[in-house]
Amino acid sequence: MSATLPPVSPAPERRDSPSVPPASPPPSAGSARADAVGGVRRRPSPFIVAVAFTVSLLGLLPLGYVIVTGILTGWTELSALVFRPRVGELLANTVGLVVVTVPLCAAIGVGAAWLVGRTRLPGAPVFAVLLAAPLAVPAFVNSYGWVSAIPSLNGLWSGVLIATLSYFPLVYLPCAAALRRLDPTVEEAAGSLGSGAWGVFFRVILPQLRLPILGGSLLVGLHLLSEYGAFAMVRFDTFTTAIVEQYRSTFNGPAANALAGVLVLLCLFLLVGESGARGRSRYARIGSGVARTPTRRSLGRLLPLGYLFLGGLFVLSIGVPFTSVVRWLVQGGASVWADGVVGEAFLQTVGYGLIGAVVTCLLAFPIAFLAVRYPSRLARGLESVNYLTSSLPGIVTALALVTVSIRFVQPLYQTMVLVIATYVLMFLPRALVNLRAGLAQVPVGLEEAARSLGRHPLGAFLGVTARFFAPSALAAGALVFLGIVTELTATLLLAPSGTRTLAIQFWSKVNEINYVGAAPYALLMIVLSLPVTYLLFARSRLTSVS
């Protein structure tokens, strides 16, 4: 599973008022105009531009693959593969899943964020952390836990249940951060004009949460389109499950490619829809002074319902899967850990995660550097290409690289290099957003002062700038690591023979109906994911401070 998490927003850029002639920006302004020594404007290094351009060009492979394969297949064959009853069934299942699950995740995420952030509910800080924990449980592990508890689960509503419990934190986290930033003055003004508590919530608070709700809902929708394991376990067919089964059973390229093309169109529809729904409204606070801390409301008689909602949400999303994993571990006893494959799978997963995280951050850095230090249309274009690629399901990226490697660079087929390349294309925006935010907060003047004192440009960068944005780089690497540890679909298609990651071994045991044997791998994935999930929660709180 590609577990794309909510990115940390970069620091806002400073803009001079158009009515006042702009003064010459100081060396610490962080823009390309200030990135000069002695008043001489510098150009970006050709090497950095070449690396950024090459990475972004490779990022176009998945989308180019879908377009080219559609053209080569021909309209006659392509239409026969697309306009058939099976595709209609998959389309109804997939659209129905998105239409039902996304609003549920939005409602639960907003409600949970309001309860922990705006009410005097005792224990709210504890619930604030606990409600982020479901991100540490891969959706296919959550499905495994529920199927273990209720073996009869299947179909659309089972998929909705598991997906909602797995993905609601993608809306909860950005909404909770946004609520901490809102200025309570507007709410108080609405209350003084006669609006009750619910009126203030729906007329004032909810409209200001529009962007985090839409952004989180978009992430939920993209995850739903790309998820395989969770829905395969409850026997609910979507485009992704059909593509994987088609590819693995018959290696039928045209049929799988046709389904991938429809899946890409659904992804683009979500992206365009979210962009249009966002509009051009601005939600920044204007005025002097500092926003006050919001006043928390008493729940009164509704306090038991608040506890029931938050406690039930935690039990269903974390308690059920964790209890199932522990139950299978107890049933298997010490023998489930005696198999040497468990240790090997753990080491391989950590190895893939660390290598993938380092390579992804290194390749994302030139793009982030150009976007911050040399903003231009080219930099924005290179950045946007990678966001578009990451929004495509991992199965499409894997199919694209499989096809390219078989036809043009066959020695790379089923090698670790191809697997890492796929991880880079899938998770590069996680690194890019964090690196960009870190670089934007580093005063360029400090680096220039070091250079004026005789330091080599590279030495000045490593000695000054790198130290400032190191926390952002570590966060970027951690988020990429989390995505790799819990990734299943692309790894199943691309992994070399003999590869035993935790996700692959878990899925192999589940397919054998060996739930006892799958439990150690599920537990280890959760253990690896928990620290990164807490890091995400902590950073969301830091970046929300006004």
What's the rounded Cα separation, in Å, for the pair 210 and 138?
A: 27
**Residue 287: how many other CB atoms lie within 10 Å:** 8
CA proximity to 398, closest of 521, 489, 298: 489
The pLDDT assigned to 73 comes to 84
CA proximity to 257, closest of 421, 72, 58: 72
CA dist 315 to 21, 127, 131, 527, 528, Å? 58, 12, 10, 18, 21
What's the rounded Cα separation, in Å, for the pair 78 and 255?
A: 8
CA dist 350 to 497, 501, 526, Å? 18, 9, 13
The pLDDT assigned to 16 comes to 41
Residue pair 393/98 in contact (Cβ under 8 Å)? The answer is no
Span 392-422, pLDDT tens digits: 888 888 888 988 888 888 888 889 999 999 9
The pLDDT assigned to 9 comes to 44
CA proximity to 310, closest of 536, 527, 133: 133
What's the rounded Cα separation, in Å, for the pair 364 and 362?
A: 6
Ordered DSSP codes for 38-73: TTEEPPPPHHHHHHHHHHHHHHTHHHHHHHHHHHHH
**Residue 337: how many other CB atoms lie within 10 Å:** 14
Scan for tokens 């485009």, then name that residue: 239
What's the rounded Cα separation, in Å, for the pair 52 and 30?
A: 20
User: In one letter, which amino acid is 180?
Assistant: R
Domains in the chain and their CATH numbers? 63-279+319-542 (1.10.3720.10)
Span 101-114, pLDDT tens digits: 999 999 999 999 99
The pLDDT assigned to 96 comes to 96
The pLDDT assigned to 378 comes to 85
User: Which residues does the chain have with pLDDT short of 70?
Assistant: 1-42, 183-200, 249-253, 279-294, 445, 447, 456-460, 463-464, 539-546
The pLDDT assigned to 492 comes to 86
The pLDDT assigned to 229 comes to 92
**CA end-to-end span of the chain:** 34
